[in-house]
């Protein structure tokens, strides 16, 4: 049994938008912060663009890249916590407003740059296949 393409697109859009909203706002200490609009609304715009231009596969790679950046921030913060402070008692990164804001903007920037790179790579591959 195959799934119709419109249903696949709707599911992919919902999954990618949720992944962007959650990953982009992971550093925010307050989920009601106005800065949460960046990953939610910005992520919605990126997902809408990808769905409209049939670029959901490059978007999937970009979302994965953003989540790798989330993992790198998490591991990096843990290493600083263990190695950088002898007592191992630094507050979570989200407790500081400036790093949390910069991290949120940075994660969204990672998403945009990765999406643009994967779209360009896909377009170049499509152009070389049509020659």
Average the pLDDT over each of 7-21, 23-37, 63-77 and give the range with the smallest value.
Answer: 23-37
**Helix ranges (DSSP H) in 1-131:** 5-24, 37, 43-52, 56-79, 97-130
> Quick check: 17 pLDDT over 70?
yes
Handedness of CA 59, 65, 66, 67 (dihedral sign): positive
Q: Enter the pTM of the model.
A: 0.86
CB 15 within 8 A of CB 47: no
pLDDT band per the 50, 70, 90 thresholds, residue 28: confident
CB 36 within 8 A of CB 25: yes
């Amino acid at each position: 049994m195959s799934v119709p393409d419109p249903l696949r697109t709707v599911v992919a859009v919902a999954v990618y938008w949720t992944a962007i909203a959650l990953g982009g706002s992971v550093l925010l200490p307050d989920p009601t912060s106005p800065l949460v609009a960046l990953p939610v609304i910005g992520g919605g715009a990126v997902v809408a663009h990808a769905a409209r231009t049939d670029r959901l596969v490059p978007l999937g790679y970009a979302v994965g890249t953003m989540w790798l950046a989330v993992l790198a921030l998490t591991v990096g913060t843990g290493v600083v916590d263990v190695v950088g402070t002898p007592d191992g008692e630094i507050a979570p990164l989200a407790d500081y407003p400036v790093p949390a804001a910069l991290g949120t903007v940075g994660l969204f920037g990672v998403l945009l740059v990765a999406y643009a790179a994967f779209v360009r790579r896909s377009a170049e591959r499509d152009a070389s296949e049509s020659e």
